[in-house]
Amino acid sequence: MAKAKRKVSSGRDQAQDAIALLKADHRQVEEWFGQFEKARDADRKQKLATQICNALKVHATIEEEIFYPAFLEAVDDSDLHHEAIVEHNGAKKLIAEIEDSSPDDDYFDAKVTVLSEMIKHHVKEEEQPGGMFSEARGSDMDLDALGEQLATRKAELESEQDEEPEDVPPGGGRKSRGQEDRLMKGGR
């Protein structure tokens, strides 16, 4: 099988190939998960959880819209593709739960921790020898062109996130279970 096409970079912007871009996303989210584990302040935890969830939503979207279809066409490994999609779907459900809660929720930290474990598993499978990235490198995929497409779409999605209204309080305005219980009992 032919090696993935690589263009020699001119002196302009050092564009990342698709795999380098996706791996950079992985490293960034890993760093934020590490910071979350060490954080003690509720505001810091909320900020990190929001950054993690937003980054993962963008990452999953660009993989599903651009990288995975190109991978499936070039490599035709439907098992790896289908497993990655199922893992994304599980992560998206947990991301939605995290976004609908806050550090006041008794399960907030646990949800972020479980998401971290899910993502570590997913990243390991994509990056390991014989994984999706390894198969992509060994294919005829134009990883530079895909990298440009991924970067463009990522920038679009991130700018859409920046445009979202900020009048919603952290946690989507929802009260934690403990807050709801106290309110129902007449407390604060």
Among candidate residues 2, 3, 7, the one with its CA nearest the CA of residue 144? 7
Residue 46's alpha-carbon distances to 40, 66, 150, in angstroms, are: 11, 30, 27
pLDDT (mean) for 49-71 = 97
pLDDT higher than threshold 90 for residue 6:
no
pLDDT (mean) for 96-115 = 97
**Which overall architecture, per CATH, does domain 18-160 show?**
Up-down Bundle (1.20)
Q: What is the pLDDT of residue 185?
A: 40
Q: What is the pLDDT of residue 7?
A: 40
Q: What is the pLDDT of residue 166?
A: 53
Q: What is the pLDDT of residue 76?
A: 83
pLDDT in tens, 159-177: 998 886 654 444 444 444 4
* Beta-bridge partners for 5: 142
pLDDT higher than threshold 70 for residue 183:
no
pLDDT (mean) for 16-30 = 96
Hey, where are the domains in the chain?
A: 18-160
pLDDT higher than threshold 70 for residue 93:
yes
pLDDT higher than threshold 70 for residue 9:
no
Kindly report the backbone phi and psi dihedral angles of residue 31, in degrees, each rounded to the nearest multiple of 5, phi listed first. Answer: -60, -45
pLDDT in tens, 114-151: 999 999 999 999 999 999 999 999 999 999 999 999 99
| Residue with token string 């190109």 | 70
